[in-house]
Amino acid sequence: MIKNYYSIVVGALFIVLSLVLSSCASNYVMANGPCAVPQTQNLESVLASSRDILSDQDCTVAFDKHFDNLLMVAEGSPGENNNRRFSDFLQWSEKNGIIGNANAKQRYTRYFSRTFVSLPDEYSNCSSACPRISSVKSDMRVELNQKERGSRILSNKQLMLDAHQDYRKVQLLLEATCTSCRASAI
Amino acid sequence: MKQFLLILKQAYCHKNTVPKISIYTVLVICALYQSSVVASSQARPELEIFSKEIVQNIKQTSEVAGAMEQSLKDIISRLEKQEELFKAAHCDTDGKDMGCEQLRSQLADSYLEMLDLMEERLPKIEQSLKSTHKSLQKRIYKQMGKNRTAAGLQDLVKKSANPSHSPTLGKRALSKRVSKYYALVRNGSQGSLSVVAAELYLDSNEVIELISLIREEIGRSRLMVEIGQTWGIVSPEMQTTVQGVKSTIFGEEITQNGQISKLTASNHTSNYQSPLELR
């Protein structure tokens, strides 16, 4: 009986503590909180401010919001050197332990390269990609939208054209491959 | 490598017959084997989708389809002239005299001639396409389905030395469609060949289905015409079928200018290469 009572108390304490911590985190990220994204529209200033803010250990949870804000601001001031700015920012984030190396690479490639990182690279197509072809296709579509955004940020239409061409070709190859997998399984 | 494995097997399974091999030799052999396995997994085998047989089949299909189209063209243009005459003489609304009867009969004869020609030529095209489709299916399954990942397919696309070739937009005449594939296969590089193979595989499936539908329709249409001749009626279905044949066999050069094709490429191509970029 005492043991049960003890476990209930510990459980309740745990729930209260998590609620307090999560409210703290959201307060930090909130518009007026110490981790809030900078309000300026100047890309260089936003990059510098975001670095300052994210240097605070308590603000690393706000990385996604800062990254999204950077993309938004960059769309407002497109330029061919923006990929270098994003690359530097992501490398800085990786160096400071805010995100991992794979995460940094994936983020950069999703927006500024024609390579689709959402494509599965494990096991064969018949056993891995084809059974979940609709989700593979929709992931690719999401990434294509990200590349379109990246191309706007860089003011580089060629990136968009290349990405669209690769997208269509890979979709065609996947469709043919999965049709052959289905037909061969019968 | 098989020889190495054979020596190993002999050395350890039949110790009495072969001189002893030291453990170091075994380790060296294992290391060599391991490195060769790693190397072979890194250098993926190139695609070998288009065998001589497939290429021959494609060529043959293109020729047969071309010959059929040429013959059909003459019949269809004759049919169209007869139809114009039929309408001009108001036979379609109020034509019960001998002249209209004669025109009606000529029209039906031409129509039957078209059906006969298609009935005679289509099985050859169908067979040739089926054979191409089957061979492609086997190879695509083995080389792209079983031996590659989705990211591996993307590598093939990147290898493409023919960036201008993108999947077909719109319909084309059957022979043009097939001869386009033939030309691409003949001149294609590894990367673009995979795209051509995928396109041809899916397209041939669609065409095979269409041909089988047309063949089913031929029997039905023939019956309709024969009944029509008996009762003196020119079925409006005849006109529809002719239109159907024209669009299916001859295709229509539809160019779908997508949003992207309207965009002009910017000159601002950044040369910056991030160390973060995955390739």
Domain residue ranges of chain B, discontinuous segments joined by +: 2-33, 52-253
Q: Do A184 and B141 touch (CB under 8 A)?
A: yes
Residue A104: pLDDT band (50, 70, 90) is: very high
Residue A161: pLDDT band (50, 70, 90) is: very high
Q: CB-based contact (8 Å) between B193 and chain A? A: no
Residues of B with CB below 8 A from A91's CB? 275-276
Chain B residue whose CA is closest to A178: B145
Contact B196, B179 (CB under 8 A): no
Per-residue buried b or exposed e for B167-178, using 16+ beta carbons within 10 Å of the residue's own CB: beeeebbbbbbb
What are the distances in angstroms from CA A117 to CA A88, A111, B5, B271?
20, 10, 39, 21
Q: Do A105 and B146 touch (CB under 8 A)?
A: no
Calpha distance A16→A95 (Å, rounded): 34
Residues of A with CB below 8 A from B202's CB? 172, 175-176, 179
Distance separating the N- and C-terminal Cα atoms of chain B: 32
Show which of residues 204-243 on chain B sit within 8 Å of chain A, judged by CB atoms.
205
What pTM did the predictor assign? 0.70
Of A96-110, A120-134, B112-126, B157-171, the range with the lowest mean pLDDT is B157-171
Q: Do A105 and B263 touch (CB under 8 A)?
A: no
Count of pairs with CB atoms under 8 A, one residue in A, one in B:
169
Residue with the bigger pLDDT between A11 and A36: it is A36
Per-residue pLDDT of chain B (279 residues; tens, 9 = 90+): 444 344 434 444 444 433 444 444 444 444 444 443 333 334 455 678 888 888 888 888 888 888 888 888 888 888 888 888 888 888 877 667 888 888 888 888 888 888 888 888 889 888 888 998 999 999 999 999 999 999 999 998 887 645 555 555 445 667 777 777 777 777 655 557 888 889 889 988 888 888 888 888 888 777 777 776 654 455 666 666 777 676 667 664 433 333 333 333 344 556 778 888 877
Q: CB-based contact (8 Å) between B268 and chain A? A: yes
